[in-house]
Structure 1
Amino acid sequence: MSDMQIPYIKQAQALSKRKVKLFSAPWGSPKWMKKGGFIKSDYYQLWADYLIRFLDEYKKQGLRFWGLSPENEPATPSLFGTEYPFNFILWTPETMTKFVVEYLGPALSNNGYGDLLLMMLDDRRDFVPEWSEKLFASESLKRFASGLAVHWYGDNVSNPDILTQFHDENPDMFILYTEACHGPFLNPGPAVQLGSWERAENYVSSIIQVLNHWVSGWVDWNLALDMKGGPNWANNVVDSPVIVNVTADEFYKQPTFYGLGHFSKFIQAGSGRIDLQSDDNGLQGLETVAAIAPDSVITIVVQNRQEEAKRATFTDPIRGVISISVPPRSIHTIIYKG
């Protein structure tokens, strides 16, 4: 796998005008290390050593990671029992705390990775209250952890105030959405829906919502997939911002690609969110988020998911008034020097 991944990572770094930050998460260990889905405690040190070896091998290729979570979706497999179709390791907040505090955290510090940002949870939003309460009750864990990683799935049935509560209780920890994708598990129909504007709207709605609840970034699971939504060894086919048609030697930029671009292209790294305040009729049900960059450039993203045009009026106490017509089912970005 590394023979295929590493050249593409290096090519992306070479093409990007901005620094490409890499983060990773393990999925599963060999079965002989586990019992009932959990790693046997006798193997905690071996598993930590394995993760260090992973970082070391990429470092030999000139690739250094910005962030790491101790496990991808440590809680979700418990909901499926023996039917869970993917590689996994089960953790509880208590076992994860022990692993990080006594094994992984010291291993990172002792092997030159003390500056790597360790992100906890890396699972769905509805797990945040229980896991964060138990994880961050440990002052020892806080010495190693830098943030909270959250997955998008299930956001439609959980309250975003969960994120604000976490921020209020842990103001020194960042929140990063580390995985999202559309697929048959969320919506009826084919995995890939070419030209789906609704899927772009769903992404934009979610990003606006979570940015307004202290989230600092949002990541799509896949950069590019084929026409069937793969390849995927477990047949977990899903949609992607870029779809590759190998037969025609073509690729298609989906509406989700451009939806993501309203944020990734225009909101600069290092920006901070700023509040948009309005009366009941001020934004007429429009979805909005605003950010200010280190160079004082202000970016406002506006989405209208309604079937009629709306007018959005923004008043900056220093620069004045901006008023735009927002057509039905449209996404807009406003940029100006603050």
Structure 2
Amino acid sequence: MEYRRLGRSAVRVSPIALGTMNFGPQTPADDAHRILDRAVDAGINLIDTADQYGGDLGVGTTETILGDWLAGRSDRDSLVLATKVHEPMGDGPNDRGLSAYHIRRACEASLRRLRVDHIDLYQLHHLDRAAAWDEVLMATERLVADGKITYLGTSNFPGWSIASGMERAAARNALGPVSEQSLYHLANRTIEMEVVPAAQHYGIGILPWSPLGGGLLAGSPSDDSKRRRAAHAGTEAMRDRLDRWEQLCADLGQPPAVVATAWLRDRPGVVAPIVGARTEAQLDDALRSLDVTLDDETNARLDEIFPGPGPAPEAYAW
């Protein structure tokens, strides 16, 4: 497996990241542990979670499942462990967001659930307009100094805030975020307009989530994918595109999930798509994508089916 630098940091991560959002709500702990074993055995070293994951089982459930798995392994230090902070963890007024108060308490709680002494990539799960970058950086710099986190990342941040954060970090002589986790897939290329250019300018690696569009790009044969398509507003309006997409994949002799992940992996600025495998079979599709490289002709056909938004401001101004 060919590892990649995580943005401008020197740490190297696998070109596929294992997302764990389904662990607990959809994937029982024993199955989750087998998927984790399979992923690490295949060379994946970037494992992504969040303190809020757990669904109906309650916030923190997924981190606890991951912590139980980590406790049984001796190779924790070969993994790049990522989690997130921002989403509600309780009913209190300070149980959410990016205040220095909440960041400190949330990090301590994640460390306990994960049963580790440090988090390699601590990601701000969403923009908090009430939290100034100086406050966020103050809190995370202290966590770095205390050895509780190594790198800072963002998730679901707009380009303007990424730029603002990097400029404030430079003024503080701090490293600032090294990664941005964004919604990105063939059928949703919005981040190419401003987030991708901002990330590339500042040396921030992009970690796309939902590489299959919640199943939209996974193909139509299974009942599972049909149910997922039904959940997407406007899917019927995309019927022609999806038919052309599936024909292209058939021409390549590859499953749609494999092609979608391979395309995303090689987009400018992308470090590693985050594959939220619910089953070992889904993980195997992601691993299979590592052996697929799309040529210029195929990429041109994909651009015709799923055109990008174009760069800003040219996409919306003269």
- TM-score w.r.t. length of structure 2: 0.51
The one-letter amino acid paired with 1:150 is: Q
Other-structure match for 2:263 = 205
Report how far residue 68 of structure 1 moved: 0.6
Other-structure match for 1:236 = none
Report how far residue 116 of structure 1 moved: 0.8
Where do residues 260-279 of structure 1 align in structure 2 (5 Å cutoff)? Answer: 261-262=290-291
Other-structure match for 1:31 = 91
The one-letter amino acid paired with 2:226 is: G
What do the CA deviations read for 1:126-156 (whole angstroms, capped 9, x no partner)? x532222332232346615231312234663
1:143 equivalenced with 2:174 (yes/no): yes
Distance of 1:215 and 1:141 partners within structure 2: 27
1:179 equivalenced with 2:209 (yes/no): yes
Contact 1:196 1:255 in 2 (8 A): no
1:69 equivalenced with 2:123 (yes/no): yes
Which structure's residues are more often strand, by fraction?
1
Where do residues 60-139 of structure 1 align in structure 2 (5 Å cutoff)? Answer: 61-62=115-116, 64-70=118-124, 72=125, 74-75=126-127, 91-92=128-129, 95-102=131-138, 104-113=139-148, 116-120=150-154, 122-123=155-156, 127-138=157-168, 139=170
Distance 1:184-1:3 versus aligned 2 partners, 3 A rule? closer
Sequence identity, in percent?
6
* Local SS of the residue matching 2:131: helix
* Local SS of the residue matching 1:112: coil
Other-structure match for 2:190 = 158
Task: Give the root-mean-square deviation of aligned CA atoms.
Answer: 4.2
Distance of 1:45 and 1:163 partners within structure 2: 25
Distance of 2:107 and 2:96 partners within structure 1: 20
Q: Say which one has the larger Rg.
A: 1
The one-letter amino acid paired with 1:160 is: E
Contact 1:177 1:218 in 2 (8 A): yes
Other-structure match for 2:44 = none
Contact 1:52 1:107 in 2 (8 A): no
Distance of 1:49 and 1:166 partners within structure 2: 28
What do the CA deviations read for 1:166-193 (whole angstroms, capped 9, x no partner)? 25532xx33130533535574672249x
Distance of 1:55 and 1:255 partners within structure 2: 30
Distance of 1:284 and 1:56 partners within structure 2: 45
What do the CA deviations read for 1:77-112 (whole angstroms, capped 9, x no partner)? xxxxxxxxxxxxxx12x625143133x224314422
Distance of 2:111 and 2:283 partners within structure 1: 35
Other-structure match for 1:4 = 65
Which structure's residues are more often helix, by fraction?
2
Any gaps of 5 or more consecutive residues in structure 2?
Answer: 1-60, 218-224, 230-252, 304-318
Structure with bigger RCO (C-alpha 8 Å, 6+ apart): 2
Where do residues 238-249 of structure 1 align in structure 2 (5 Å cutoff)? Answer: 242-243=280-281
* Number of residue equivalences: 209
Distance of 1:96 and 1:189 partners within structure 2: 43
The one-letter amino acid paired with 1:262 is: D
Distance 1:164-1:151 versus aligned 2 partners, 3 A rule? closer
* Local SS of the residue matching 2:197: helix
Any gaps of 5 or more consecutive residues in structure 1?
Answer: 76-90, 226-241, 244-251, 267-282, 289-303, 307-338
What do the CA deviations read for 1:236-278 (whole angstroms, capped 9, x no partner)? xxxxxx35xxxxxxxx76533411x338xx9xxxxxxxxxxxx
Distance 1:3-1:159 versus aligned 2 partners, 3 A rule? closer
Report how far residue 219 of structure 1 moved: 2.1
Where do residues 279-290 of structure 1 align in structure 2 (5 Å cutoff)? Answer: 285-287=297-299
- TM-score w.r.t. length of structure 1: 0.49
* Local SS of the residue matching 1:146: coil
Distance of 1:253 and 1:217 partners within structure 2: 14
Contact 2:182 2:208 in 1 (8 A): yes
The one-letter amino acid paired with 1:189 is: K
Other-structure match for 1:22 = 81
Report how far residue 118 of structure 1 moved: 0.4
